[in-house]
Amino acid sequence: MEENIFIGDFASRLNKLRQERNVSARDMSISLGQSHNFIHNIEVGRNFPTMLNFFYICEFMGISPKDFFDYGKSHSARVVATMEQLEALSDEQFDSIASVIEHMNK
């Protein structure tokens, strides 16, 4: 019975993360090189991904496997988007932003 709860939690988390990224289950499935209903079948509890497919799902989402299971952070998609923007900054720009963040966290 506990296994069913875990599968449901996994499916719900996948659905939430996918919707935060505004991508359809079909488009995500195809982008992962799977059949068009791959993600849908996971989200409704029909299938469970292999470990390798789980890593591909995380890569697609732009998160680590740890982040996938971090249910406590409601702003994870915003953090990922911000990280992508930070990576595009020059070293000087990044240092400026880091200083602001450090100051705000004091």
| Tally of domains within the chain | 2
- Check whether residue 43 and residue 94 sit in a common domain: no
Domain range for residue 31? 2-71
List the structure tokens of 78.
């915003």
Is 69:13 a contact under the CB 8 Å cutoff? yes
Whether 23 and 58 map to the same domain: the answer is yes
Q: Yes or no: say if 31 and 20 are a contact pair by the CB < 8 Å rule.
A: no
Co-location of 14 and 47 in the same domain: yes
Quote the CA–CA distance of 47 and 84 in Å, as a whole number.
31
Residues 42 and 56 reside in one and the same domain? yes
Q: Could you report the per-residue pLDDT of 15-74, keeping only the tens digit for each? A: 999 998 999 999 999 999 999 999 999 999 899 999 999 999 999 998 889 888 876 655
Which residues, at least 6 apart from 67, have a Cβ–Cβ distance to it below 8 Å?
A: 58, 76
Q: Do both 66 and 93 map to the same domain?
A: no
Query: Does the predicted TM-score (pTM) go above 0.75?
Result: no
Residue 28 in tokens: 């995500």
84 and 63 inside one domain: no
Return the CATH number at 24.
Answer: 1.10.260.40
CA R_g for the chain: 17
Only one residue has tokens 């209903």, namely: 37
